[in-house]
């Protein structure tokens, strides 16, 4: 009851060209905490306010990008049932059960490929390390944070071709609602979809794009607009490659800044937005206001934002 | 799936001694919007970012306080099923179906009395007026807001005797989770319970108290700590009675200020807090840290906060 | 003693192509208050926290730009003495005494042309209307502000050729100090100068530029970074032409946003910066860090910012 | 010209009961930087954005309180001239020239006792260590700040009997202006005076009080209201004794929080306020609004704030 089924984005697995500069970026610039390494050389990280063992997984590879994104569901029973629903939906392929322990301290994961070509996982079990402030008489924030220090991994934006199929899968099978959409042309074709399984404005988002399985960004949550300025300053102090910001999205109202990890994977830190409910009407953006939808202040799209993908 | 069952606090019905000063307070100081009056003299209001027809109901009476608080559920089917569950739980009494239309543009409501003596309602239907920014290419905030201009009615804090029974009802029957609790004494008796049906840190909260059916405050959501300062300034500019703040709660981490409407009903406006999930461990506060739990900066309770109830 | 001589930027006189759209911009978008019109059709405005009768003067003309900028000095005696010093400096020309009353409720003004070609005025008397919160038991801010509602006109940035001469005039004759400078090339030629007569990081600034007497922007003071976001939102809500921002300057540390009035004159609203003292060492920016100096986050100059002048 | 004579509060010398807990407080809680110790056991500290060698001097003593407060003047010539003016004013006593080097890297200081009984110093020379961001292509803030990390020592509030004499000395001899005053009773007797030698709302302030030479607080500057919340959180995280806040002063508009060092000396960190000019009318607070003047939100004085002095 209340919050059931798919609970939240649980992890994003990213490929980086060189592990050490990437780790330096994710721990010192972004400010995540390393929690484990495995025998395949993967590094596991979490944000300070997350309880689960990890939310970001890095591995060295020849090209950057996203391997897969995983969602935590509320129970093993839900995992089995949703796996079955996904298999039977006709909207996914490449079904695979990853055994428990393949991610450290994590139970079995059900992996599948969605119509836009991305690998998505569902899982029900991951050990809780606890957040840095603890669960007994906690302070509001911990000491010794580094970098931007987001509280949580929040969502990903992914690009791919069969947007309609992916949206159908998330809405009809996985129980997400469509918080916002961008439509274009006389036929009002959906070109952007912002989907949520929670009170957040988005837990995953997609843009229609000719190529399958492209990664736009992984986003992390900051507390407020002042933290966005601090993040912007850190980007310059540490000579990180900036994409755009500080600014505001029309979509979701979030205050935001985009930048790149040393391998060219885009990161976002953002704050704000409304409280979503499943009975809230979907917000629709039309292509004549597309600039405002994406960057509310500039009101125009920049090429890098649209075309630099990994 | 995802967000189901009880969705959110839908309305709070408050008694005020004189309607006009109360209305002036709720529209000009707090900054709600009047949406209707009915033939019983009740006035209905909503916050600017709410879609539903109303979230606050005021009626003139001889004593201040809360008549009832209502929660929106996801469907008529859920309403029927939860009504049955509540009736069969042995944890509630005074069951009553309020006919559709008794609140304007609102469906049937199922009302019951909980162990702490408060009247709680469930309902599935209330017309959507839409939020002030609309659902098509919306701006992030509307023009012509007045006063503190919270985005939403957020939660109530209620005082009553049978805290255990009420918590059991909300957790076991209505599907809430216990985000935080305060325990006291060698037996670690629960004296405070902060319950949520969403990703918010609380949707309703209770303090153990000798007398049944007491109202502590109705709370409204602000965007950030700067808005809390603006609210504090408005309280002084408009000679409103201040309770305490600006400050921070240890419980929920929220930044907050408390004040009174002209009838002595306490209001809160607040911002911030973490993102709750049902699998997040309950935070426990012990009585030796009670001051910090309630007012993180002062670290001591003030008498008015504890004992002024309506 | 303490604060003497030239006290502050007192007014900027701007040419606009059409008066009514300009007025709408300066009163509804920027949020200045109209205080007078004169028989030449000029309109006088002030910001809410200013005491003097006006700080912005608008007149209709065939081309946009700045007619002159005036500085208030501490007394009539100082005015006479500084006028004499300016005349004898060999660094200015076109000396002119504007009679009292030519600006409403303003005393005589001494006007001269500086080496970069701009007309600068000194004056000692302008009637005080008082700020909107008054001088007796004042509230911290007034009701009924509109638009961005800056507290004060703060400074101008001007472009012109003989930067060295202008800097010499402001430092050696008018008593300003050089808070920050940008130097370029092997000879470390000064290409930007940020001058102050107060504890502010700048009261007037100049960029070396081939053409004389160009106007880059007039700047107005906001309270904080949250107000900069509000200003950015207003720019989009009211379809104002944005130049760049929200961002931060390396120079002065200010958080800022730039936009254009309907005639193409650039405005800035900003907040923050350090407290300057005359014995504080001048901060030097070198051309290899020029991008960071101007826009600390983007770290690159945009063409519009450099070349769109009026 | 422009900024002359007395430039700024240069140092405050405080007595503490035990040096090590005091140092821990001033470096880890407040976040000042130790710059020197001398052979008398005194410790010298500065804030990160200050250039001068020190702004706070601590020495161990049997009772807490302030030994003296020093102001930097613009030159040795001004120092000699002001010393003479102070001696001849009939408003001061106990004249003393402290030799250069008595404070490390500091020139001669002229010390005198003002009518409220406090020892005040003037000095013209103190070596510049530079601020932590440097003077060449500086970042807006340095890494590795600790605690509240104010940018500067800002002012002191002192209590004493002959308020009129002290105000006359600061205004007529030292060139300060009276930014704000509190008056009481039918005769409108001045009971509080907020004096400035700069664009800041106050550089020193006095409250009329029966006893001579009492110290209320030393105040340090924060960037914004968000930093005030951070300071409040640090006070609780580090179990520092809180006086009051976060709140706002009516006087000066500053957002503020007060707390005590381990010896009972009161500290303030604050942000905001207006830009003062010497021709700005003095703001007057009347005793019927005294609560609002001091604590704009509470609108009542707390006993500790009025009577706990060192």
Residues from chain B that touch A138, judged by Cβ atoms under 8 A, are 250, 283
A260-302 confidence digits (pLDDT tens) = 999 999 999 999 999 999 999 999 999 999 999 999 999 988 7
Per-residue pLDDT tens digits of chain D, which is 310 residues long: 578 999 999 999 999 999 999 999 999 999 999 999 999 999 999 999 999 999 999 999 999 999 999 999 999 999 999 999 999 999 999 999 999 999 999 999 999 999 999 999 999 999 999 999 999 999 999 999 999 999 999 999 999 999 999 999 999 999 999 999 999 999 999 999 999 999 999 999 999 999 999 999 999 999 999 999 999 999 999 999 999 999 999 999 999 999 999 999 999 999 999 999 999 999 999 999 999 999 999 998 877 778 889 9
Percent of chain B's residues with pLDDT above 90: 95
Q: pLDDT tens across D123-145, in order?
A: 999 999 999 999 999 999 999 99
- Buried/exposed code over A47-76 (b: 16+ C-beta within 10 A; e: otherwise): bbbbbbbbbbbbbbeeebbbbbbbbbbbee
Band (C1; pLDDT cuts 50, 70, 90): low
Say which residue, C308 or A145, is predicted with more confidence: A145
Chain D neighbours (≥3 Cβ pairs under 8 A) are A, B, C
Point out the residue among D3, D135, D248 whose CB comes nearest to the CB of C277: D3
The token duo for A164 is 């309609």
pLDDT tens-digit map of B95-126: 999 999 999 999 999 999 999 999 999 999 99
Residues of B in contact with D305 (CB under 8 A): none
- Give how far A245 is from chain C: nearest CA, Å: 8
Residues of chain C contacting D286 with CB distance shorter than 8 Å: 136-137
Lowest mean pLDDT segment, chosen from A118-122, A258-262, B217-221, B299-303: B299-303
Q: Which of A233, A242, A247 minimises the CB distance to C248?
A: A233
DSSP assignment, residue B300? S
If phi over 0 gives left and psi between -120 and 50 gives alpha, with beta otherwise, what is residue A264?
Answer: left
Exposed, middle or buried by CB within 10 Å (0-12, 13-18, 19+), for A144?
exposed
Q: A237 pLDDT exceeds 60?
A: yes
State the pLDDT at residue B173: 98
Question: Mean pLDDT for chain A?
Answer: 96
Nearest to B233 among C140, C233, C236 (CB): C140
CA distances from D246 to A128, B65, C18, D262 (A): 35, 30, 47, 20
Residue C258 catalytic? yes
Tell me the chain C residues in contact with residue D137 when contact means C-beta distances shorter than 8 Å. Answer: 250, 284-286, 289, 292-293
Tell if the CB–CB gap between B245 and D297 is shorter than 8 Å: yes
- Which chains lie within 8 Å of chain A at 3 or more CB pairs, if any? B, C, D
pLDDT at A136: 97
ipTM of the complex: 0.96
The reply to whether residue C248 touches residue D3, judged by beta carbons under 8 angstroms, is no
Buried b or exposed e, range C12-43, using 16+ CB within 10 angstroms: bbbbbbebeebbebbbebbbbbebbeeeeebb
**Mutation target vs B (from D243, D246, D293; most B CBs, 10 A cutoff):** D246
Residues of C with CB under 8 A from a CB of A: 225-226, 229, 232-233, 235-236, 242, 245-248, 255, 257, 292, 296-299
Looking at chain A, which residue has its C-alpha nearest residue D140? Answer: A233
pLDDT tens per residue, range A192-213: 999 999 999 999 999 999 999 9
Q: Measured between beta carbons, which residues in chain D are less than 8 angstroms from residue C155?
A: none
B268 tagged catalytic: yes
In this structure, what are the phi and psi dihedrals at residue B167, rounded to the nearest 5 degrees? -65, -40
Across chain C, mean pLDDT equals: 96
Which among D128, D175, D272 has CB closest to C1?
A: D175
Q: What is the pLDDT of residues C260-306, one digit of tens each?
A: 999 999 999 999 999 999 999 999 999 999 999 999 999 988 777 77
| Cβ-contact D220, D295 below 8 angstroms | no
DSSP letter at A156?
E
H-state helical runs in chain B: 19-24, 76-89, 163-168, 225-237, 290-294, 303-307
Supply φ then ψ for residue A294, to 5 degrees.
-80, -60
Mean pLDDT of B263-272: 98
In the prediction, which pLDDT does D308 show?
Answer: 87
- Residue C68 contacts residue C119 (beta carbons within 8 Å): yes
A85 phi, psi to nearest 5 deg: -65, -40
pLDDT of res. D1: 56
Active-site option among B11, B155, B209, B276: B155
Q: Each residue of B57-69: pLDDT tens digit? A: 999 999 999 999 9
What's the rounded Cα separation, in Å, for the pair A150 and C225? 19
**Do A139 and D226 make contact, defined as CB atoms within 8 angstroms?**
no
Number of H-type helices and E-type strands within chain B = 6, 17
By Cβ distance, the residue of D140, D224, D236 closest to A233 is D140
Long-range contacts of the stretch C286-291 (C-beta < 8 A, 24+): C286/C182, C286/C183, C286/C184, C286/C188, C286/D136, C286/D137, C287/C182, C287/C183, C287/C184, C287/C185, C287/C191, C289/C250, C289/D137, C290/C182, C290/C184
Which domains are delineated in chain B?
6-123 (3.10.180.10), 152-307 (3.10.180.10)
Q: Give the mean pLDDT of chain B.
A: 96
DSSP D171: I
Report the C-alpha gap between C52 and C105 in whole angstroms.
9
Q: How far is CA B139 from CA A250, A292, B151, C273, D223, in A?
A: 7, 9, 14, 30, 29
Catalytic residue among C118, C155, C209, C276: C155
Closest residue to D233, CB basis, from A141, A233, A237: A141
Give residue C304's pLDDT: 78
Secondary structure (3-state) at B128: strand
User: Residue A308: is its pLDDT beyond 90?
Assistant: no
3-state secondary structure C229-273: HHHHHHHHHCCCEEEEEEEECCHHHCEEEEEECCCCCEEEEEECC
pLDDT digits (tens, 9 = 90+) for C25-81: 999 999 999 999 999 999 999 999 999 999 999 999 999 999 999 999 999 999 999
Residue to mutate among D2, D76, D82, with most C CBs inside 10 A, is D2
Q: What is the rounded distance in angstroms from the CA atom of residue B99 to the CA atom of residue B77?
A: 16
Query: 3-state secondary structure string, A53-92?
Result: CCCEEEEECCCCEEEEEEEEECCHHHHHHHHHHHHHCCCC
pLDDT at residue A9 greater than cutoff 90: yes
Q: What is the pLDDT of residue A1?
A: 57
A233 vs C297: CB contact, 8 Å cut-off? Answer: yes
Whether residues C233 and B139 touch (CB distance < 8 A) is answered with yes
Cβ contacts of A226 on chain D, cutoff 8 Å: 224, 226
User: What is the predicted pLDDT for the residue at A302?
Assistant: 78
What is the per-residue pLDDT for B12? 98
The secondary structure element, H or E, covering residue D220 is strand D214-221
Confidence band of B308 (pLDDT split at 50, 70, 90): confident
């Amino acid at each position: 009851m209340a919050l059931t089924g798919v609970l939240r984005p649980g992890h994003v697995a990213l490929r980086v060209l060189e592990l050490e500069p990437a780790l330096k970026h994710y721990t010192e610039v972004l400010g995540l905490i390393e929690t484990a390494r495995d025998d395949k050389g993967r590094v596991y990280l979490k944000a300070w306010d997350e309880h689960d063992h990890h939310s970001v997984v890095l591995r060295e590879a020849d090209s950057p990008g996203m391997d897969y994104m995983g969602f935590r569901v509320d129970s093993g029973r839900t995992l089995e049932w949703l796996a079955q629903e996904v298999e039977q939906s006709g909207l996914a392929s490449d079904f695979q059960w990853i055994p428990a322990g393949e991610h450290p301290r994590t139970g079995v994961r059900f992996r599948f490929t969605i119509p836009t070509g991305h690998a998505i996982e569902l899982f029900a079990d991951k050990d809780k390390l606890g957040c840095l402030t603890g669960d007994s008489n906690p302070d509001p924030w911990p000491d010794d944070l580094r970098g931007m220090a987001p509280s949580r991994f929040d969502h990903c934006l992914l690009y791919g071709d069969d947007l309609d199929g992916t949206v159908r899968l998330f809405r009809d099978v996985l129980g997400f609602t469509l918080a916002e959409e961008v439509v274009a042309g006389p036929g009002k074709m959906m070109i952007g979809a912002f989907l949520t399984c929670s009170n957040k404005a988005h837990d995953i988002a997609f843009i229609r794009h000719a190529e399958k399985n492209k990664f736009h960004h992984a986003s992390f949550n900051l507390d407020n607009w002042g933290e966005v300025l601090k993040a912007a300053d850190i980007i310059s102090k540490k000579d990180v490659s900036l994409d755009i910001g500080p600014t505001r999205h029309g979509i979701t109202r979030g205050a935001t800044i985009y930048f790149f990890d040393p391998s060219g994977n885009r990161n976002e830190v953002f704050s704000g937005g409304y409280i979503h409910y499943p009975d809230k009407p979907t917000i629709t953006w039309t292509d004549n206001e597309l600039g405002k939808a994406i960057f509310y202040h500039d009101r125009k799209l920049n090429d890098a934002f649209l075309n630099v993908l990994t």
